[in-house]
C-alpha cells in the first residue's frame, strides 16, 4: 500500500475551551483549523499542529460535551508520542510544573529520554501560562512532530501480524525481551505493546477514536487491502457529499481500533 504517512489522530473532548487552552498554551501547538464535525454539525472539530502545520504533527478533536472521561481498554489508542529535541525535556518538565500538568520524571526508554504526561482539559478556570517560546538559549524547544502512536493489546502476535504482514508496515524497532515493537507508518510510527491486563471484551470509552492514514489513492488502497482480506465498514466515499474535500474509507484492526484512509482532494484540511 502506497502510504504517505499519518494524516491525523482524532480524539474526543468534553470541554472545547479547556482543550484549546491546553494544546495551544501548555503545549504550544497551533490551532490550524476550527470547523464542525460533518456528521454532527453541533460539534466543533478542532485541528492542532506545529507552527507551520507540517504533516505528522496533526492532532484533532471532536467536541462532544456529553463525552465521558477516557476509560482504557482493548481497541483503544493508549498514548501519543510528541517529538522534541532531547535537550528540551527538562525544560518541558519545568513548564508542566508551572502549568499544573501531571507528569512523570524524565526517564530513558529504548535508548531515548522520555517524559510522560497527561493532558488536563478542565471545564473551569485553568492555571494559564504563556505559550512556550520556540527557542531558549539557542535551543529549539517546541514540538517538532508526532513520534509515535501507541496501541496496547492482549493479542500481540495477532496485531503484529495485521500491521506488519497484512498492512505491510515495515518493522522499525523493538524492545529486546519484550513484546513491544514500532512499525513504520510513513511520517510517524505505531507502537504496538502487549498488555495482558486488557482482557478481550474490555471496550475503551472516550479518548482517542481513530487513526487516519494519508494515501494518494483511496480506491487503490481499498482494493489492495480488500484483496488481502481486510473488511471495510465504510467503503470509499467523497466527503462531505455537498463539497468533497477528501475521499475516505474506514476499517478496523483485529482489536477494533478504527483506521481511516484519507485522500485529500485539494487542501490537506477542510476550510472552516
* pLDDT of res. 72: 64
Residue numbers of the chain with a pLDDT score lower than 50 = 123-127, 135, 137-139, 272
- Residue 211 domain-assigned (yes or no): yes
CATH of the domain at 9: 3.10.180.10
* pLDDT of res. 164: 95
Look at the chain and report how many structural domains it folds into: 1
- Residue 183 domain-assigned (yes or no): yes
- How distant is the alpha carbon of residue 4 from its chain centre? 16
Question: For residues 211 and 216, what is the distance between their CA atoms, to the nearest angstrom?
Answer: 16
CB 225 within 8 A of CB 251: yes
Cis peptide before 240 (omega within 30 of 0): yes
Instruction: Label residue 128 exposed, middle or buried (CB < 10 Å: 0-12, 13-18, 19+).
Output: exposed
- Residue 127 domain-assigned (yes or no): no
- Residue 174 domain-assigned (yes or no): yes
Give Dmax over CA atoms of the chain in angstroms.
54
Task: Name the residue among 4, 42, 7, 1 with its Cα closest to residue 269.
Answer: 7
- Residue 98 domain-assigned (yes or no): no
* pLDDT of res. 220: 95
Question: For residues 209 and 81, what is the distance between their CA atoms, to the nearest angstrom?
Answer: 16
- Report CA dihedral (6, 99, 28, 87) to the nearest 10 degrees: -80
* pLDDT of res. 125: 45
* pLDDT of res. 124: 46
- Residue 118 domain-assigned (yes or no): no
* pLDDT of res. 271: 55
Q: Are strands 139-140 and 145-153 parallel, antiparallel or unpaired?
A: unpaired
* pLDDT of res. 126: 45
Question: For residues 50 and 255, what is the distance between their CA atoms, to the nearest angstrom?
Answer: 31
* pLDDT of res. 133: 56
Task: Name the residue among 57, 23, 43, 26 with its Cα closest to residue 269.
Answer: 57
* pLDDT of res. 245: 84
- Residue 116 domain-assigned (yes or no): no
Question: For residues 132 and 23, what is the distance between their CA atoms, to the nearest angstrom?
Answer: 11
Find the domain containing 178 and state its range. 5-84+142-264
Task: Name the residue among 223, 268, 272, 226 with its Cα closest to residue 246.
Answer: 268
- Residue 15 domain-assigned (yes or no): yes
Cα angle for residues 102, 107, 112 (degrees, 5° grid): 120
Those residues whose C-beta lies under 8 Å from the C-beta of residue 156, and which sit 6 or more positions away, are 179, 192, 194
Amino acid at each position: 500500500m502506497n502510504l504517505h504517512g499519518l494524516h491525523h489522530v482524532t480524539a474526543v473532548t468534553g470541554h472545547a475551551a479547556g482543550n484549546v487552552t491546553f494544546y495551544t498554551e501548555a503545549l504550544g501547538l497551533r490551532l490550524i483549523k476550527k470547523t464542525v464535525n460533518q456528521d454532527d454539525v453541533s460539534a466543533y472539530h478542532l485541528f492542532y499542529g506545529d507552527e507551520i502545520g507540517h504533516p505528522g504533527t496533526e492532532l484533532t478533536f471532536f467536541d462532544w460535551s456529553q463525552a465521558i472521561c477516557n476509560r482504557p481498554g482493548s481497541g483503544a489508542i493508549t498514548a501519543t508520542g510528541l517529538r522534541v529535541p532531547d535537550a528540551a525535556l527538562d525544560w518541558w518538565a519545568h513548564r508542566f510544573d508551572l502549568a499544573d500538568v501531571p507528569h512523570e520524571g524524565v526517564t530513558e526508554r529504548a535508548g531515548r529520554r522520555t517524559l510522560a504526561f497527561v493532558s488536563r482539559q478542565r471545564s473551569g478556570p485553568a492555571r494559564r501560562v504563556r505559550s512556550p517560546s520556540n527557542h531558549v538559549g539557542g535551543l529549539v524547544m517546541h514540538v517538532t512532530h508526532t513520534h509515535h502512536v501507541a496501541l496496547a493489546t492482549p493479542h500481540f502476535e495477532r496485531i503484529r501480524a495485521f500491521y506488519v504482514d497484512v498492512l505491510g508496515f515495515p518493522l522499525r524497532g523493538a524492545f529486546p525481551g519484550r513484546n513491544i515493537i514500532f512499525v513504520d507508518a510513513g511520517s510517524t510510527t505505531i507502537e504496538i505493546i502487549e498488555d495482558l491486563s486488557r482482557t478481550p471484551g474490555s471496550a475503551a470509552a472516550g479518548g482517542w477514536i481513530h487513526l487516519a492514514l494519508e494515501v494518494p489513492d483511496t480506491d487503490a488502497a481499498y482494493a489492495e487491502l480488500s484483496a488481502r482480506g481486510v473488511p471495510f465498514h465504510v467503503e470509499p466515499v467523497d466527503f462531505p457529499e455537498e463539497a468533497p474535500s477528501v475521499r475516505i474509507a474506514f476499517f478496523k484492526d483485529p482489536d477494533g481500533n478504527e483506521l481511516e484512509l484519507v485522500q485529500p482532494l485539494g487542501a490537506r484540511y477542510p476550510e472552516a
